[in-house]
Amino acid sequence: MKFVTAAKEGSSQREVRRTFKMLREVWMSIGVEKLDMHEGITVKALLDSGATGMFMDKRMVARHGFKLQKLERLIMVRNVDGTNNSEGAITHQVECNVYYKGYVERMRMDICDLGKTEVILGILWLAVHNPEINWETGEVKMTRCPPLCGGGSQTKEKIKRVVTIEEEKIVR
């Protein structure tokens, strides 16, 4: 944030304006752990209120050897303009542990082509956890998690159970 001062023409008074650069995107550096091997990697996750779920890039999944779980039903992927995504439907998901500054959660992420993005945490995740976001610096704090989550006070031994779609509806 910076303060700009400017003198008005023909006046001895100065005008002070506060300006700051607002971020258009917020990214979190998170740890993602494979459940079968307990190996973890650090990835960049985009917080995206326009996305409906939690997603992991299919190339990243293959590169790091995450265990895929086939979905019972396909999930059609729609682009922002309402057209079907050229990569087709989502057919698999990954169950993993996610770590962020003392916060731990077990979650399922749908696998699809995210381009250069590794992970997307969408509106369901944002609504349930209601993270505190500083739009000027991009800092994300997990200060408003619901009791179901534990608000970041969990340890690895006390990782919460996977939130299913039905449970997400109850939380809302």
Answer whether residue 10 is part of any domain. no
Residue 170 pLDDT > 80, yes or no? no
129 or 167, higher pLDDT: 129
The answer to whether residue 60 is domain-embedded is: yes
**Does residue 53 sit within a domain?**
yes
CATH code of the domain containing 42? 2.40.70.10
Of residues 152 and 98, which shows the higher confidence score? 98
> Which of 103, 92, 132, 137 lies closest to 31, judged by CA?
103
Percent above pLDDT 90 for the chain:
52
Domain containing 97 equals 23-171
CA distance 35 to 48: 25
Distance from C-alpha of 162 to C-alpha of 166, rounded to nearest angstrom: 11
Query: Is the sign of the CA dihedral 44, 50, 56, 58 positive or negative?
Result: negative
Q: Is 73 exposed, middle or buried (0-12, 13-18, 19+ CB in 10 A)?
A: exposed
- pLDDT above 60 (res 7): no
User: 95-112: string of b/e by CB count within 10 Å (b at 16+)?
Assistant: bbbbbbeebbbbbbbbbb
pLDDT band, very low/low/confident/very high, at 135 (cuts 50, 70, 90): confident
Task: Tell me what the mean pLDDT of segment 163-167 comes to.
Answer: 45
For residue 72, tell me if it sits in a domain.
yes
> What mean pLDDT is predicted for residues 6-20?
61
Predicted local confidence at residue 5, as pLDDT: 52
pLDDT at 17: 62
CA angle 112, 102, 137 (to 5 degrees): 75
Q: In which band, very low, low, confident or very high, does the pLDDT at 70 lie, cut at 50, 70 and 90?
A: very high
Q: Count of domains in the chain?
A: 1
Q: Within a 10 A sphere around the Cβ of 81, how many other Cβ atoms?
A: 5
Residue environment code for 124-146, b if the CB has 16+ CB neighbours within 10 A, otherwise e: bbeebbebebeeeeeebebeebe
Decide if 8 is inside a domain: no
Let me know: does 130 contact 144? Beta carbons within 8 Å: yes
The pTM (predicted TM-score) of the whole model is 0.74
Residue 27 lies in a domain: yes
The residue that leads in pLDDT, 45 or 153, is 45
Residue 5: inside a domain: no
Residue 2 lies in a domain: no
